[in-house]
Copies of this chain bind each other. A is one copy, B any other.
Amino acid sequence: MADSHITKAFDVDLQDLARMVAEMGGMAEKQIAESVDALARRDARLAQRVVALDPQVDALQREIEERGILTIARRQPMAVDLREIVGALRVSNDLERIGDLAKNIAKRVIALGPASYPTQVIRGVEHMSDLVLNQLKQVLDAYARRDVAKAMEVWRGDEEIDAVYNSLFRELLTYMMEDPRNITFCTHLLFSAKNIERMGDHATNIAETVYYIAEGKTLADERPKGDTTASTAVPFPAA
């Protein structure tokens, strides 16, 4: 009787954590979509809203941490029960960082102002963010269902985002070389694209957490890394 009471209390704790993580996930998706929407439409007011949402995301992460840690201390869960809570802490950490990255993009939108720039490069950024948003939706779904196979799909899918980022990186550098007037906005787009690429990394971290919860071990093989721009040097075309 006492045992079933403890189990029930633990289940309530777990459900509350799951609800908070799902809420955070929804916020992070919103932040990604709106920050890139604001970038594409040069919408400073929308960008302001993305910035304004960030403290709520941060507060939710602290709440999840506090609730998770207290649950561990009170219920002393072991094995998969313990991993469930550690998993919620890890996922909320990744979601908080995604929110930060979206906020940084939104700040750049506010900086860039209303001046227009080539739609082609913006489309590249939008394409990347569509891919990342889909990855995040899929992995949050995999997390909610404890679906390891689906999580592994997301884990492998990050390579495509990295490939798009690599080609966008080169494209932006080329624009900068063609006309110095492009340099300021291309720099902000470069940082925005890098932010989106890193959001993709956080989606794969969440995939690794789903694996860890289910399997009780860390993914052994290194994820194929597709972002090679840290080692990209676009040669200046000979005059």
Contact = CB atoms under 8 A, between A and B. Distances in A.
Interface in A73-87: 73-74, 76-78, 82, 86
A173 B186 CA distance: 11
A107 B225 CA distance: 13
Protomer copies:
2
A219 B220 CA distance: 38
A120 interface: no
A184 B69 contact: no
A179 to B, nearest CB: 9
Contacts of A78: 73
Contacts of A76: 73-74, 76
A43 B93 CA distance: 34
Contact of A233 (B69, B113, B230): B113
22 contacts: A69-B72, A69-B86, A72-B73, A73-B73, A73-B76, A74-B76, A93-B93, A107-B231, A110-B231, A111-B230, A111-B232, A173-B184, A173-B187, A176-B183, A176-B187, A177-B183, A184-B234, A184-B235, A185-B233, A188-B230, A190-B190, A191-B230
